[in-house]
Structure 1
Amino acid sequence: MLLMDTKNCLDVSKEWLAGAIDMHVHAAPDCASRKYTDAELARQYHQAGMGGFVSKCHHVDTSGRAAVIRELMPPQEAGIVYGSVVLNHSVGGLNPSAVMTCGRMGGKVVWFPTVDATNDAIYKRKHRNPALGQYNEQPSDQKKITILAEDGSLRPEVYPVLEAIRQQDLVLATGHLAPQESLVLISEAAAMGIQKLLVTHVSLPITKADAGLQQDFLDAGAWLEHCFYTPYYQLASWDEILASIHLAGSEHIILSTDFGQCQSPDPAEGLRQFAQELHRRGISGQEIRQMMVENPRGLLA
């Protein structure tokens, strides 16, 4: 776990994070314990001067509850909550109807399988680190999900999902697919005209992509996501994250927290700490604003 030296770290200007949107946050209600509800988090992001967050649940579509919170909470008290869906078994897996429903209810992000991805299961069987999130999984006899056929091409059932994402103009996030799976998916999606492409936490061990693959993702038009969760729990080094930022340039990076766990810092504070640590390591305020404010807003527009 990262220990912050609050006496020696530089103050991050509020101007850098004004309007920042955290693209990856876990909130209650959920099957796993979460630190705060969506409504509580909305207030926290607002109080921090930030723009809001994307509510992610591995097992249900959050777009409906995000819409209710936006209606009920006075604008002067809350940041914006954006809904999303993760294509795990609980929503039917690779289910285009789940995508269309999310979009029609105002959701913004579609993650491909996470805890039900074949890649996720294989990695966790070999590595028993509790920071990898085994507590997120639900008992199921269903086969884990891969998007590739034996010849390495996309399985036919993936294409209707991509078409639904394209029609609804949603953000496609790769979830916990293997990096090579993600590259095939991103390439096919780009060929179909999908422009909002996000490779989920490229520094997390489960989905880690080397520099060559990261360049391939960038060449296909994707953004690369780094979550504060990863260095905070010592699942990646700061050097790896800095190298990725320098490779891609700040215009192609999304910085989020992946927080919401009871043992983690409050998500809005985590985003501030993430900015703090990167600034201390040479990333400019302008670059931080690009990666935490401008890029997320562009994807969610």
Structure 2
Amino acid sequence: MADNNTNYPTIVPLTEMSPERTAEVAELLVDAVDLHCHSGPAAMPRILGHTEAFQMAEDAGFKALLYKDHYYVGMPHCAVLKDIYPDSKVELYSGVALNNASGGINPHAVDHNIKLGGKIVWFPTFAAKNHIEAYASKSFPKTAKPMLPPIPLTVLDANGKLIDEAKQICDLIAEADIILAGGHLSAAELFVLFEEAAKRGVKKMLVNHPSYIIGCSDEDIRGLVGLGAYMEHSICMFIPGRAKQHETEDLIHMMEVAGVDRTVLGSDLGLTQAPKPVDGYRMIVSDLLDHQVDKADIKKIISTNASGLINLAA
């Protein structure tokens, strides 16, 4: 399956590593799980397709790869790849993002996602009112071809209460025992959503890139973890590339705030002018080793914690 945007090359090379460090990193990547792979085809420009992302993960010994697209469910792509490569060891998953293309905060889209074997539901991302307001005065990467402008979405009504559709979605997620991800909702929205979700039996809650768009303070991170959430940090924001916003020290600080047992790394890669997903994992793992992060802790945040979220044995 070819990428539909092959004219966008990767411009950031993989960090040079000694043979010893290369072997050390390779060992740690065995059984890694990426819950945030942005390969294509996609409306957004991507530097690799699902097949290449899958093959790179397979070659590196990953346990699982979860494709994320902002506009479509990806489980059919996973099924096709597994049919073509029946002997592959890496498990392939996807989910649904509740943007306008899926009908917004739409229980029917969630039900369909679950029936296809989806492992995650992302609440609105690019169509989130919070996202749209954050980029009202600055540019955001565009789709390869212009699309209709998004209709802003929020999970709260005019009184700040959770809307009925969001409650129904929480019930569906709880029954299926899959991941509820916050998408690009604001921290304030997440507190309302996650508190209600926990009451309704949702066991797996994930905050996507809390330091970007979401607006989480250290106090917010502690509070959301207190509700049972995991913090998923996007590797792309800590390594060289156009999405970089932080240094490795910032990641280590947020790991300490949430606790290693509640921290997950997802690549959030496939975007242009950045490394490919597996290369991103190699770079961040090497950086964490440089900062003397314990190997057991690295294993938790790139493998063990995410494995539990998708019901794979650690």
Distance 1:110 1:137, change over 3 A: farther
Give 1:208's match in structure 2, choosing from 215, 236, 240.
215
User: Partners of 2:66 and 2:171 in 1: how far apart?
Assistant: 22
**Which stretch has the larger CA shift, 89-98 or 119-128?**
119-128
Cα drift, residue 14 of structure 1: 2.7
Partner of 1:199: 207
In the alignment, does 2:235 pair up with 1:223?
A: no
Task: Give % identity.
Answer: 27
1:123 aligned to 2:134?
yes
Which residue number corresponds to residue 46 of structure 2? Answer: 34
Instruction: Tell me the residue number matched to 2:164.
Output: 156
Deviation at 1:266, TM superposition (A): 1.5
Question: For 1:126, what is the secondary structure of its paired residue?
Answer: coil
Number of residue equivalences = 296
- Equivalent pair of 2:12/2:274 in contact (CA under 8 Å): no
**Which whole-Å CA distance do the structure 2 matches of 1:136 and 1:208 have between them?**
28
Aligned residue in 2 for 1:268: 278
Secondary structure of 1:157 counterpart: helix
1:121 and 1:144 in contact (8 A); partners too = yes
Counterparts in 2 of 1:5 and 1:40: CA distance versus 1, 3 Å: closer
Q: CA deviation at 1:5?
A: 5.1
| Contact in 2 for aligned 1:16/1:286 (Cα 8 Å) | no
Aligned partner of 2:94 among 83, 91, 101? 83
* Cα pair distance change 1:284/1:137, threshold 3 Å: farther
| Deviations 1:242-262, CA, capped at 9 Å, x for gaps | 111012221100101100123
Tell me, in whole angstroms, the C-alpha distance in 2 between the residues paired with 1:94 and 1:2.
36
Equivalent position of 2:125 in the other structure: 114
Residues 1:248 and 2:255 aligned together? no
Q: Deviations over 1:172-197 (max 9, x none)?
A: 11001111111211111111110010
Deviations 1:252-276 (A, max 9, x none): 0010110012322111111121111
The AA in structure 2 aligned to 1:245 is M
Give me the TM-score of the superposition, normalised by structure 1.
Answer: 0.91
CA RMSD of aligned residues (A): 2.1
Q: Deviations over 1:208-239 (max 9, x none)?
A: 31100000011001100101111233323333
Per-residue displacement from partner, 1:115-159 (whole Å, max 9, x unpaired)? Answer: 00000000011333xxx5344896335531011122222122211
Report the equivalent of 1:97.
108
Structure 1 alignment gaps of length 5 or more: none
Where do 5+ consecutive residues of structure 2 fail to align? 1-10
Q: Provide TM-score, normalisation by structure 2.
A: 0.88
Matches of 2:26 and 2:156 in 1, distance apart? 44
- Measured after TM superposition, the shift of residue 55 of structure 1 is 0.3
